[in-house]
Amino acid sequence: MLGKLFRLALVLAIVGAPLFWWLTRPGDIAAAELAGLSGDAARGERVFHAGGCAGCHAAPGAEDEARLVLAGGHRFETPFGTFLAPNISPDPEHGIGGWSLADLARAMRRGV
C-alpha cells in the first residue's frame, strides 16, 4: 500500500514538475508589442517618478542629483531572505546599459 502511494507520488512529481514549470513560465514579449514605442523620454520620466524607482534603486545615503544615478545597493530584509536593489544605471558593465529594449520590457512586465 505504502509502496503504491510512493509510486503514485513519484509519477505525479515527474509529470507535475514539468507541467508546473510550463504553466508558470514567463512568456516572451512579442516584437509587435514594442514596435509602437516612441522613445518619449517625458513619458519615461513620469513612470520613473510614479513608480518611485529611486526610492529603492538609489544608492543608500545618496542625495539630490545622486539619487538619479540608480546605483542600487539598498537591502530589503524579508522572511524569504534579503533582496538587494540592483544597479539599474545606464552603465553597460555595472548597470543595465547593455540591455536591449526587449530585456528591459521583460524585466518590467514579466519580472524576468
Measured from each CB, the residue nearest to ligand HEC is 51
Decide: is 47 part of the binding site for ligand HEC (CB under 6 A): yes
Q: Does 105 bind ligand HEC (CB under 6 A)?
A: no
Interface with ligand HEC includes 55 (CB under 6 A)? yes
Phi, psi of 76 (to 5 degrees): -115, 105
* CA–CA gap between residue 72 and residue 81 (Å, rounded): 17
Nearest residue to 70 via CA among 106, 44, 34, 39: 44
**Chain residues that interact with ligand HEC, rule: CB under 6 A:** 47-48, 51-53, 55-57, 76, 83, 85-86, 88, 96, 107
